[in-house]
Structure 1
């Protein structure tokens, strides 16, 4: 399939597609082809068997936490799974549920995902645990779901360092209208080193 066609179907830029293909090839996925020509997934790719309960729980999590976009995809995937299950088996048999997200967090997550995809900076109005408000420009890196809160890890221009922000404390969020000053993959690698150094300490 031509790269431009594949990128369009996936809803990503051609540059992102080339980067992702190179990553998959580096992991040993048998993809042949080249930029400007097209790509073919070759034989030999095997995936480990999936645990049915884990798959259903994961899809429920995405459906609940990201109600639009990925949530719609999760709902469709669950429906397709239901359609091919053997008689007497149902996703309803998986007695594991996911709690509702904090009010408004899905919209904030959508903005964060869009910024990461575009490698754009974000402007946020944030209120810390003491109640102090601040306006910040951040470069989002990754979102995370924890027991107590949903978070985003980002490079904070004001602090000149990595910071973690609770989504329920973000009062306003918008694209800053300019790109991050470092590529996302570089930021992600640096943040992992930062996180690992903190864990080791």
Structure 2
């Protein structure tokens, strides 16, 4: 990788607003940590607003932007496939946003890349997901972001009805169905609820703050400890 390309990639990794270590950058870019330290120092000297220090990590202050980036052939395929899957299996607002994002990306691509974007033949039929489920998905996504305590009328796999109030923490897609991960106030533990089994869903008007032992990371740690997933499995994915 050319040094200019590596500097560009460092900026892209740091734009997410999360603290990133030199070790992680070095692993992703396949260079030494010493090289990362030099590159970051050079970026800082040119005015790129990167904060942090060696041994702790680096983060980029908000407000810094670059000209539109170029995409490789495989990146274009991934973007189109991802947008179409969200359009097929996401909420109504998610689907609309995915299509709008593709339009914005298309406007900044050169002609050859734009032609490639239009020629991707990867589809995701959406015949199994109802409009009601899509609306619930959007509502739960906002509840996760805004930390809204939410009351659910739920029917489990055996047909038993129950009322629960949860702290919605995250959403999982299982290749055909969605679940919301939440801290259940009734059970005082983590629970997963299938969205297609939720009857009514109402914000209680209360909000919650993350507490130790009740966060999404704690849920992931519990899953690993119980052997539900392999040790070392990265739920968040690289750079996400």
TM over 0.5, shorter chain: yes
After superposition, what is the alpha-carbon deviation per residue over 1:101-152, rounded to whole angstroms, capped at 9, x for unaligned?
A: 5212211111111211211111000000001000100111111111231111
**Higher relative contact order, structure no. (Cα contacts within 8 Å, ≥ 6 residues apart):** 1
Partner of 2:9: none
What's the counterpart of residue 102 of structure 1?
A: 129
Cα displacement (A) at 1:200: 5.5
Instruction: Report the Cα offset of residue 47 of structure 1.
Output: 9.6
Q: Give the match's secondary structure for 1:95.
A: coil
State the Cα RMSD in Å.
3.4
1:56 Cα deviation after fit: 0.3
From 111, 121, 134, the counterpart of 1:86: 111
- 2: CA distance, partners of 1:185 / 1:26: 22
- Aligned-partner Cα distance in 2 for 1:159–1:146: 24
Q: Secondary structure of the residue that 2:200 maps to in structure 1?
A: strand
Matches within 5 A, 1:22-37: 24=17, 26-27=19-20, 31=49
Distance 1:77 1:42 in 2: 17
**Deviation, structure 1 residue 172:** 0.7
CA deviations 1:66-111 (Å, max 9, x no partner) are 3533322211222234443525824342221123152122111111
Segments of 5+ residues of structure 2 without an aligned counterpart are 1-13, 22-39, 41-47, 52-60, 231-240
User: Structure 2 CA distance, aligned partners of 1:115 and 1:47?
Assistant: 34
**Alpha-carbon shift at residue 63 of structure 1 (Å):** 2.2
Secondary structure of 1:130 counterpart? coil
1:42 and 1:134 map into 2 onto residues whose CA distance is 48
1:141 aligns with 2:169: yes
Q: CA 1:89–1:172 in structure 2 vs 1: closer, same or farther (change >3 Å)?
A: same
Q: Which secondary structure does the structure 1 equivalent of 2:129 belong to?
A: coil
Q: Do the aligned partners of 2:17 and 2:62 also contact (CA within 8 Å) in 1? A: no
The DSSP-based 3-state class of the residue aligned with 2:225 is helix
* Pairing 1:118-157 to 2, within 5 Å after superposition: 118-157=146-185
| Runs of 4+ displaced beyond 6 Å | none
Q: Is the 8 A contact 1:111 1:174 kept in 2?
A: no
Cα displacement (A) at 1:169: 0.2
Give the match for residue 194 of structure 2. 166
Larger Rg: 2
More strand by proportion, 1 or 2? 1
Structure 1 residue 61, shift from structure 2 partner: 1.8
| 1:3-14 matched pairs, under 5 angstroms | none
